[in-house]
Every structure is written in structure tokens, then in C-alpha cells.
Amino acid sequence: MAILVIAEHSNAALGAATLNTVTAAKAIGGDVHVLVAGAGCAAAAEAAAKIDGVAKVLVADDAAYAHQLPENVAPLVAEQGKSYSHVLAPATTTGKNLLPRVAALLDTDQISEIIAVESADTFKRPIYAGNAIATVQSSAAIKVITVRGTGFDAAAAEGGSAAIENIAAGADAGISSFVGEELAKSDRPDLTSARVVVSGGRGMGNGDNFEMLYKLADKLGAAVGASRAAVDAGFVPNDLQVGQTGKIVAPDLYIAVGISGAIQHLAGMSGSKVIVAINKDEDAPIFQVADYGLVADLFEVVPQLDAAL
């Protein structure tokens, strides 16, 4: 029994979520192989070969895979997947985009966003925005699974020495093409893997006021997040959104500033180790999950906090 992990990568570098997915694969048990499909992705493949616990790296290097278009990558993964018992991908937007297409090509049900491995065929996953945890058993011959990064520790990025094997690429399906992208630039740590996250909500008032959260975040070496309300109001770009429909984070410290704590937001951060809430409404639902709550005006308290650190 061997497990195929689909690497998350930018051709030049391996995505951090791949490491958590490898840990999930190791928990299932069996040889772990990593598939890197991209264009000019030798660097990503080499990084994958160094991951502790990886037995083999398969590389499909072709212009058709440059932007991970699922119409091109899914047939390749489905073909390779036939010789594995499990096919895993990180539950990032790339993994979520690709893997269900693979599952349908293999005519098998998919299990989304697992947070724990009970056995080789039984997994735990959150449903209803994290308000319930389902234990799901699969009788499928090939189990197709996406892995929630915050549910598993990252595998060591060094220490492995897997063989790299080139595999043949398929043809471009010719039904989709990449036009362009606008990536938000940030020097702060990645939201999903940061040890500390400072998030702002509607209470911030406007986008300019987020400056004080950026300042605080820089002092703490933290990433900055936001609630849907802050994103919808145009304070910050949508890729900062934490919640059921945004990113799922589980840092050591989560500081929620001016966030009421709607169900959809809690779904994205209630796995955090310590939660601090700063809100002037003492009845805000966020205080029900906060380890430390401070009922105060954020415009007074955040600069004080910044000064105290």
C-alpha cells in the first residue's frame, strides 16, 4: 500500500501545506510518494525529495501544468492515482480546485478537509462550519482526501533523500487557459502557518485603521487576518479573511480586535491555542471562546498594547 501526496508548489518552491499533508499520509501508514506537476518545477521537486518520510518523488514537468489548471492536471493525477490506495492533497484553494475533479475521474467519493486519521479508512472532519465533527469511513478502493493543514504538524523539510522519477506528461486539454493573477504582497508570515495572528473586524472602522494592527503584528512577528465584515467593507483584501469561507488558522495566539465572533468566523480560528478578544461590546459572542477578554475601545487599547510590548 502506497500513498500519493499531491504537492502544493509555485514551481520554484514547495508550499508549506505539503509538509502537513505528508504527516497525514504517514499517519495512514505506507510508503509516501509525492507528485510534483508543474513547469520548470525541478526546485520544488528537490525540496519534496528532502521531506522526511517521503520514499519517492514523481515529477511531471510540462508547460501544460504551469498554473496547475485542473483540466490538465486532474487526468494526470487520476492516471497515477490508480496504483495507490490513497491520494491526498492539501486543502488549499489549489488542492480543493483539483482533487474533486480527480475523484470524479476515478469514480470515487472524496473526503474533504480531514483533521485526524483514525485508521487507513476512517477519518475525522468538521461539518456545519466546525460546529460538529463527523467520523467518516470509506469503502472506496482509492481514497481521495484533502487534508486541513492545521489538523497535522508539518513534516520535517530536511532529512529525507527520496529518489526523483520523471513521469510522462499528458496533453493540454485545451479548454482552459491562464490569463493573469494579482497576488497580494506581504513581508509578514503566512496567515495559515503564523504562530501569532492579529485580526481586525468591522470595529476597525476603515482600512487606514488597520495600520495599527500591522504595527502590532510586526512587533509580535504575527500575520494579520480579518473577518468577512472587514473584507466586505473593503478595509483589506479578501485573502486575509479568516473563517468558514476564508482561511482556517490555528496559531498559538489569536488576537481578535473589533470582531463580534459570528459562527462563520469562529469556524476559522477556534482551534487556536490562546484567544484574546478586544471588543467594546461585553455581550459579543467572541468572549465565549476567548481565553482573555478585554472590554474596551480598541482605539485606546491597541496603541497601549503596542506600547506595552
81, 113, 250, 269: which one contacts other proteins (CB under 8 A)? 113
Part in contact with other proteins (CB under 8 A); list of ranges 20-28, 54-62, 81-89, 297-305: 297-305
Distance (Å) of CA 204 to CA 127, 225, 277, 290, 308: 30, 12, 13, 19, 20
**Nearest distance from residue 155's CB to other proteins, in Å?**
20
**How far apart, in whole angstroms, are the C-alpha atoms of residue 69 and residue 94?**
9
Query: Residues 73, 37: contact at Cβ < 8 Å?
Result: yes
228 a known binding residue? yes
**Judged by CB under 8 A, does residue 46 bind other proteins?**
no
9, 86, 247, 265: which one contacts other proteins (CB under 8 A)? 247
50, 56, 96, 188: which one contacts other proteins (CB under 8 A)? 96
**Nearest distance from residue 2's CB to other proteins, in Å?**
20
Which of 60, 290 has the CB closer to other proteins? 290
Burial class for 179, CB neighbours closer than 10 Å (0-12, 13-18, 19+): exposed
**Judged by CB under 8 A, does residue 18 bind other proteins?**
no
Binding mask 121-160 for other proteins (x = CB under 8 A): -x---xxxxxxxxxxxxxxx--------------------
125 a known binding residue? no
- How many residues interact with other proteins (rule CB under 8 A)? 89
Q: Which of helix, strand or coil describes residue 114?
A: strand
Which of 112, 209 has the CB closer to other proteins? 112
- Residue type at position 195: R
**How far apart, in whole angstroms, are the C-alpha atoms of residue 297 and residue 224?**
19
**Judged by CB under 8 A, does residue 171 bind other proteins?**
no
97 a known binding residue? no
Cell of 115: 483533521
279 a known binding residue? yes
Burial class for 99, CB neighbours closer than 10 Å (0-12, 13-18, 19+): buried
**Judged by CB under 8 A, does residue 39 bind other proteins?**
no
- Contacts to other proteins from residues 185-224, by CB under 8 A: 192, 196, 220
**Nearest distance from residue 40's CB to other proteins, in Å?**
18
**How far apart, in whole angstroms, are the C-alpha atoms of residue 34 and residue 30?**
13
184, 187, 208, 283: which one contacts other proteins (CB under 8 A)? 184
Give the bridge partners for 305, in sequence order: none
- Contacts to other proteins from residues 265-294, by CB under 8 A: 270, 273-276, 282, 287, 289-294
245 a known binding residue? yes
Query: Residues 110, 121: contact at Cβ < 8 Å?
Result: no
Q: Which of helix, strand or coil describes residue 113?
A: strand
Q: How many residues does the chain have?
A: 309
Query: Residues 213, 254: contact at Cβ < 8 Å?
Result: no
Q: Enumerate the known binding-site residues for FAD.
A: 202, 227-228, 241-245, 258-265, 279
Q: Enumerate the known binding-site residues.
A: 202, 227-228, 241-245, 258-265, 279
